[in-house]
Amino acid sequence: MDIKAEVRDFLSSRRARITPEQAGLTAWGTNRRVKGLRREEVALLAGVSAEYYVRLERGHLAGVSEQVLEAVATALQLDEAERAHLFGLARTASARKPVGTPRRPVRAPVQWLLDSMAGTAAYVRNTRTDLLAANALGGALYAPVYDMPGRPNVARFVFLSPNAPDFFAEWEKVAAESAAMLRTLAGENPYDQGLAGLVGELSTRSEVFAQLWARHDVRLHRTGVKKFRHPVVGDLTLAYEALDLAADSGLRLSAYVAEPGTPSAEAFGLLASWAGTPAEATQAGWESASSSTVSSWGAASTGPAGVTTPPE
């Protein structure tokens, strides 16, 4: 990632979305050539000189104090995720390029933890949204992702699979959140060539992703609700929590649960039963699903199970 270009585009895009009225300023005249705030207006709100802010927006964040960053964040009305992104870019600009570390497989105790989470669909992903490990229910929930050729990758599925809009009931929302999450991950991991390659691939192959990426939105992926149209059990509304693995930098565990007593809980229980069957019975379960569903998705080649995907 080009840090200076990322800083420039991020700050200018945030500046463009705020009008003088929203910032509490008086807009003199109607012939404004810029969309949103002018640089000197941001400088005024942040309490710095116009020349200094111009330098910041050109990407020169190395050595900038936290007080100045906080003032700029306040002037631009950044939310929590955007503030974290700005501070992360500043840390990257001030640091030396790190030496790459080898990617290790998911540790056995992490897989044991996943497998112990009965009634919960759980998986571990890396900073590239590769699915590295899952328990049986997690594999069953994300079976369409695992059915894609090559390494299972959530972002590729969202933007490149024709099945994604059917699988995610709110696909447009999921797509926007996925692009914003990738932007956040790219800011946190600016020297990850695999992540840069993924962004380049998606930008080339998906017009939707290219448009969303150009918005420079960022997002903290911690908790929320996601709606699925699962090819075996139908509609599911699931709450999720995402947790970083403290001992494994860059890995995050995501866990999905259904609200007790709801139709989703009943369907989720059916999916758990399906996930717990032997591979032969699972294959039969796919083939015995409604003909319209199977014709749309295709039968699974293997049954879901607790899986660990080897590193690249």
- Residue 286: give its domain's CATH number: 3.30.450.180
Locate tokens 């003199």: which residue?
Answer: 28
In a domain, 101, yes or no: no
Buried b (16+ CB within 10 A) or exposed e, 90-122: bebbeeeeeeeeeeeebbeebbebbbebeebbb
Q: At 257, list the tokens.
A: 């649960």
Question: 67 with 114, same domain?
Answer: no
- Quick one: pLDDT band at residue 308, thresholds 50, 70, 90? low
Question: Are 52 and 39 contacting, i.e. CB atoms less than 8 angstroms apart?
Answer: no
Q: What is the distance between the terminal CA atoms of the chain, rounded to a whole angstrom?
A: 21
Q: Average pLDDT in the 112-119 region?
A: 94
Q: Average pLDDT in the 248-253 region?
A: 92
- Quick one: pLDDT band at residue 298, thresholds 50, 70, 90? very low
> CATH number for the domain including 18?
1.10.260
List the single range of 70-79, 91-100, 163-172 with lowest mean pLDDT: 91-100
- Quick one: pLDDT band at residue 109, thresholds 50, 70, 90? very high
> How far apart, in whole angstroms, are the C-alpha atoms of residue 196 and residue 185?
10
Cα→Cα distances 58→10, 44, 95, Å: 10, 17, 18
**Residue 275 confidence (pLDDT):** 86
Q: Average pLDDT in the 120-146 region?
A: 96
In a domain, 223, yes or no: yes
Q: Is the predicted pLDDT of residue 102 greater than 60, yes or no?
A: no
Looking at 94, 125, 156, which one is the last position of a domain?
A: 94
In a domain, 236, yes or no: yes
Q: Is the predicted pLDDT of residue 105 greater than 70, yes or no?
A: yes
Cα→Cα distances 27→19, 24, 38, 44, Å: 9, 9, 11, 14
Of 20 and 257, more confident: 257
Question: 150 with 209, same domain?
Answer: yes
Q: Is the predicted pLDDT of residue 135 greater than 90, yes or no?
A: yes
How many structural domains is the chain composed of?
2
In a domain, 234, yes or no: yes
Q: Average pLDDT in the 280-293 region?
A: 38
Q: Express as a percent the part of the chain with pLDDT over 90.
A: 69
- Quick one: pLDDT band at residue 289, thresholds 50, 70, 90? very low
Question: 89 with 117, same domain?
Answer: no
In a domain, 27, yes or no: yes
Question: 152 with 229, same domain?
Answer: yes
**Residue 35 confidence (pLDDT):** 81
pLDDT tens across 254-272, in order?
999 999 999 999 999 999 9
pLDDT tens across 58-80, in order?
999 988 999 999 999 999 999 99
- Quick one: pLDDT band at residue 29, thresholds 50, 70, 90? low
Which domain covers residue 38, as residue numbers? Answer: 3-94
